[in-house]
């Protein structure tokens, strides 16, 4: 009993130490991250970056961070690293907040929020484009060794209601890490760009990345406000010609022809064709030329009676002859 008591005290002390290290208590103070910044890294794309607070008490626990998007659309999520990429429209501005969190099965501890903001780009109201629509078209490409299809992009829009007559618009698209400026425009009666055509793009028809489109402009009389929009490829997915479907049909027809050829050869070799499809006899030229012979064998008699019935048809005269032998 004297030996067991110290052992129990040692185990109890070790348990308390582990609980103090692994389970946060209310006395732990979480400090907010520092150096929180928002940087534009591409069309409709930003990078959120921060650093852990250097004055944060170090314990044997894993600190995480909660990110909250305030504008243009509210969203929130958690992460274990100190940066996050966001794909979002930017013509309305962008703002976000981040805080340090520590959670377990019983409670959630959190620091105060720190925030950063990107202001909306400058421009006069009513000068940005409206009704931006974009469609992709997938066609077969026999001139490229990289892939068997090519995706084109076509976008249209309307001029802003308060845009000056000398306004000129310019369109850019980003897909993944590739950004390209439009070179082929359609114009209205005043010579303003109102549509764009990319005959060849780096867009993947079955890709999962967002298609980001930006249209900005210039004028001598007013600052033109830019406009950007995100498109999901499946929502704008106009595949008129699919090379895979074409090749599938070719292979299917070739397979059917090969099977039919093999079956015909087997039938010919095994003479199954005649057995399965016997020749049909040709009909007689005159149905009335009928010759019927009937044999009768009388039971209990050694004689055999043969009856022959002949039908002879002459013009205007019918003769019936019965001969019994």
* Residue of higher predicted confidence among 307 and 258: 258
Residue 42 — very low, low, confident or very high, per pLDDT cuts 50/70/90?
very high
Within this chain, do residues 162 and 72 fall inside the same structural domain, yes or no? no
Within this chain, do residues 87 and 143 fall inside the same structural domain, yes or no? no
Q: Which of 30-34, 86-90, 283-287 is least confident? A: 283-287
Q: How far apart are CA 225 and CA 161, in angstroms?
A: 12
Q: Is residue 273 pLDDT above 80, yes or no?
A: no
Within this chain, do residues 181 and 212 fall inside the same structural domain, yes or no? yes
Tell me whether residue 95 is in a domain.
yes
Residue-range definition of the domain harbouring residue 87 = 34-118
Q: Domain of 104: which CATH number? A: 2.60.40.10
Check residue 20 and give its pLDDT. Answer: 47
The total number of structural domains in the chain stands at 3
Of 118, 144, 170, the position where a domain reaches its end is 118
pLDDT in tens, 172-201: 999 999 999 999 999 999 999 999 999 999
The whole-chain average pLDDT of the chain stands at 80
Can you give the pTM of this predicted structure? Answer: 0.65
Tell me whether residue 87 is in a domain.
yes
Tell me whether residue 28 is in a domain.
no
Q: List, in sequence order, the alpha helices (H) in the chain.
A: 4-22, 243-269, 272-276
Tell me whether residue 218 is in a domain.
yes
Q: How far apart are CA 108 and CA 90, in angstroms?
A: 33
Q: What share of the chain in percent tops pLDDT 90?
A: 52
Q: Which of 7-21, 36-50, 142-156 is least confident? A: 7-21
What's CA 161's distance to the chain center, in Å? 36
Within this chain, do residues 66 and 93 fall inside the same structural domain, yes or no? yes
């Amino acid at each position: 009993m004297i030996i067991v008591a110290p052992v129990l005290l040692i185990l109890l002390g070790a348990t308390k130490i582990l609980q103090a290290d692994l389970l946060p208590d209310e006395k732990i103070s979480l400090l907010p991250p520092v150096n929180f910044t928002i940087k534009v890294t591409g069309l409709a794309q930003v990078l959120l970056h921060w650093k852990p607070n250097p004055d944060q008490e170090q314990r044997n626990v894993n600190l995480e961070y909660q990110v909250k998007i305030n504008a243009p659309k509210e969203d929130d999520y958690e992460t274990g690293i100190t940066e996050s990429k966001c794909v979002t429209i930017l013509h309305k501005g962008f703002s976000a907040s981040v805080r340090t969190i520590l959670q377990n099965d019983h409670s959630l501890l959190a620091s105060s929020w720190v925030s950063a903001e990107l202001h909306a780009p400058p421009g006069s109201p009513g000068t940005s484009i409206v009704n931006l629509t974009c469609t992709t078209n997938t066609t077969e490409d026999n001139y490229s060794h990289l892939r068997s299809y090519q995706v084109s992009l076509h976008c249209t829009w309307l001029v802003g209601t308060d845009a000056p007559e000398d306004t000129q618009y310019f369109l850019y698209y980003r897909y993944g890490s590739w950004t390209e400026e439009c070179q082929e425009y359609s114009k209205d009666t005043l010579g303003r760009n109102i549509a764009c055509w990319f005959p060849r793009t780096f867009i993947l028809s079955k890709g999962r990345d967002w298609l980001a489109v930006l249209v900005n402009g210039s004028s001598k009389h007013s600052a033109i406000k830019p406009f950007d929009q995100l498109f999901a490829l499946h929502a704008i997915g106009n595949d008129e010609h699919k090379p895979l479907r074409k090749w599938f049909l070719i292979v299917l027809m070739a397979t059917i022809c090969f099977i039919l050829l093999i079956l015909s050869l087997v039938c010919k070799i095994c003479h199954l064709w005649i057995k399965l499809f016997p020749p049909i006899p040709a009909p007689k030229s005159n149905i009335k030329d009928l010759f019927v012979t009937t044999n009768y064998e009388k039971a209990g008699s050694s004689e055999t009676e043969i009856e022959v019935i002949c039908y002879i048809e002459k013009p205007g005269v019918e003769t019936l002859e019965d001969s019994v032998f």
